[in-house]
Amino acid sequence: MDNIYIGSILIVVLIFTYFLTFSFPSVGGIFADPALYPRIIIFILMLLSGVTLFNGLKEMKNKKHTGEEIIEKGKKTNLKKPIEVLFCLIIYFSSLNYFNLIIPTFIFLIIIFMIYGGKFRIGLIYAIFLAFSLYVLFEIIFKIPFFPKYKIF
């Protein structure tokens, strides 16, 4: 039942977020549309939310819940992991104003992996691979400077 709630809520929030990307200003020249990357991420998250919703529906069909089981399950809902992830997302998005993208992303990926029961070493490999993939995506494909060059004088 939790998967149905979480999947449904995420899909609604992601649809709203997708429509917000149409308000991004367009940039001419060699740069890609600024809304392209968020739309790709939103699409991937929407697919994963759909899978979560589908798994919840399949689980509910297989178990044939009664009303009492659903009420009892609702009382015991464990919201610890979603709250931890939400807290991590808030810190992650806040830190993007102070650091470039790679450092907060790297730390965020390791923490999320460990929240969901992964080992630190595997999380480290996972974070290195994804952070490097983001670097390649921005620097090479989108031609957006990943590390801004600051002028001192």
Asked whether residue 37 falls in the same domain as residue 92, the answer is no
C-beta neighbour count of 77 within 10 angstroms: 11
Select from 50, 77, 104 the last residue of a domain.
77
Residue-level pLDDT at 136: 85
CB atoms within 10 A of CB 94: 10
Residue 128 has what pLDDT?
Answer: 92
Residues 82 and 137 in one domain: yes
Q: What is the pTM of this model?
A: 0.51
Domain identity same for 71 and 115:
no
Domain of 136 in residue numbering reads as 78-153
Per-residue pLDDT tens listing for the chain (153 residues): 678 888 888 888 889 888 888 887 776 665 667 777 788 888 988 998 888 888 888 888 777 655 545 555 555 557 788 888 888 888 888 887 777 778 888 998 899 888 888 888 988 998 999 888 888 887 888 777 766 554 443
| Identity of the amino acid at 64 | K
Residues 93 and 51 in one domain: no
Task: For residues 28 and 82, state if they share a domain.
Answer: no
- The whole-number pLDDT of residue 153 equals 35
Q: In this structure, are 104 and 58 located in the same domain? A: no
Does residue 107 share a domain with residue 67? no
pLDDT of residue 125: 92
Residues 6 or more apart from 18 whose CB is under 8 A from it? Answer: 39, 42, 43, 46
At which of 27, 47, 77 does a domain end? 77
Measure the CA dihedral 147/136/14/100, to 10°. -20
Which of 143, 141, 70, 131 is CA-nearest to residue 105? Answer: 131
